[in-house]
Amino acid sequence: MKRVFLFVVTNLAILLVLGIVLSILMPVLGLDSQSNSGLLFICAVFGMGGSFISLAMSKMIAKRAVGAHVIENPSNRSETWLVQTVHRQAELAGIGMPEVAIYDSPEINAFATGMNRNNALVAVSTGLLKNMSSEEAEAVLGHEVSHVANGDMVTLTLIQGVLNTFVFFFARIIASVISRGNNSRMFYFMTVMAFQALFGVLASIIVMWFSRQREFRADSGGANLAGKEKMIAALKRLQGDREESQLDGKLIAFGISGKRGVSRLFMSHPPLEERIAALQAS
């Protein structure tokens, strides 16, 4: 319920902000919402703007969504080890020290998010701390730090924003053509929604393909920061985890493990056996 509330409130806030931006910029730029150029601009503002505002708010939303506790002053040996390991890996990767957090979940998982390389968040589940050795956990942290160092959050946000823009634009262009001669606004609206859903599915396939490629790269980065054998051992440990993931939305793409049981086209992560094989062959 909390996640649904956060999702609704966040999206309403984004729509409000972008609506205000459009009301200011459209007259200044002399754009007409009825023209193709005006429509494309509106779609770009909502497509790109929505994605980047979500990214800017991602740390705050992520911490609230999973109930993550940020470690400001380590209170035990485990927290001290976590902070020291992330600090060391961040220095090796050439990025600013991320916030380090723990969230309560039985799954073996971790995620990274944030607007830029020097202002990120790395969070691990209690399940990971309980079920992984320090060597395996070190590799997982290296994987997440590599996501930050590679700029994966910004890259996928940019790709998503561009695709959103064209999904919105072409859905409305096609709906206008189909609705020509039909004065029903409801027919136009339903046509837009139908094509937006169709193109949205196609866009998701593209985004997920890019996400899977970034996972291979993050695995390689984790191997460089912690050691290849540790990274392989961590991925093998994940193969035995059967807990339901607590991550959703964009957080899934930056976890060490993604959701199972979905079509490969819509998987944010490659199968673990492929990731292990890629590391073994490197």
Q: For residue 63, count other CB atoms closer than 10 A to its CB.
A: 18
Predicted local distance difference test score (pLDDT) of residue 250: 55
Predicted local distance difference test score (pLDDT) of residue 253: 56
Question: From residue 15, how far is each of 6, 20, 191 by CA, in Å?
Answer: 14, 9, 21
Domain segments of the chain as ranges: 67-153+210-281
The region, left, alpha or beta by phi > 0 then psi within -120 to 50, assigned to residue 111 is beta
Given a contact cutoff of 8 angstroms between Cβ atoms, the answer to whether 216 and 235 are in contact is no
Contacts of 151 (CB under 8 A, 6+ apart): 116, 117
Predicted local distance difference test score (pLDDT) of residue 8: 65
- Nearest 5°: the CA angle 70, 93, 141 is 45
Q: Which amino acid would we find at residue 86? A: V
Q: Where are the beta strands (DSSP E) in the chain?
A: 69-70, 99-103, 110-114, 120-125
Q: Note down pLDDT in tens along the chain; length 282 residues.
A: 555 565 566 667 777 777 777 777 777 777 777 788 888 888 888 888 888 888 888 888 888 888 899 999 998 999 999 999 999 999 999 999 999 999 998 888 999 998 889 999 999 999 999 999 999 999 999 999 999 999 999 999 999 999 999 999 999 999 999 988 777 889 999 999 999 999 999 999 999 999 999 999 999 999 999 999 999 999 999 887 665 565 655 556 556 666 554 577 888 889 899 999 999 998
Predicted local distance difference test score (pLDDT) of residue 145: 96
Catalytic residues: 144
Q: Which residue has the tokens 């409130």?
A: 9
- Neighbour-count burial of 221, counting CB atoms closer than 10 A to its CB (0-12 exposed, 13-18 middle, 19+ buried): buried
Domain 67-153+210-281 adopts which CATH fold? Answer: Zincin-like (3.30.2010)
Contacts of 174 (CB under 8 A, 6+ apart): 191, 195
DSSP 8-state symbol, 255:
B
Q: How far apart are CA 89 and CA 112, in angstroms?
A: 14
Predicted local distance difference test score (pLDDT) of residue 20: 79
| Beta-bridge partners for 102 | 69, 124
H helices, E strands: number in the chain: 10, 4
| Beta-bridge partners for 111 | 123, 255
**β-pairing verdict for 120-125 and 99-103:** parallel
* Nearest alpha-carbon partner for 104 in 76, 136, 71, 67: 67
Q: How far apart are CA 56 and CA 157, in angstroms?
A: 10
Q: Which amino acid would we find at residue 218? A: A
Q: Two tokens at 215? A: 């996972």
Question: From residue 106, how far is each of 2, 154, 193, 258 by CA, in Å?
Answer: 19, 29, 38, 15
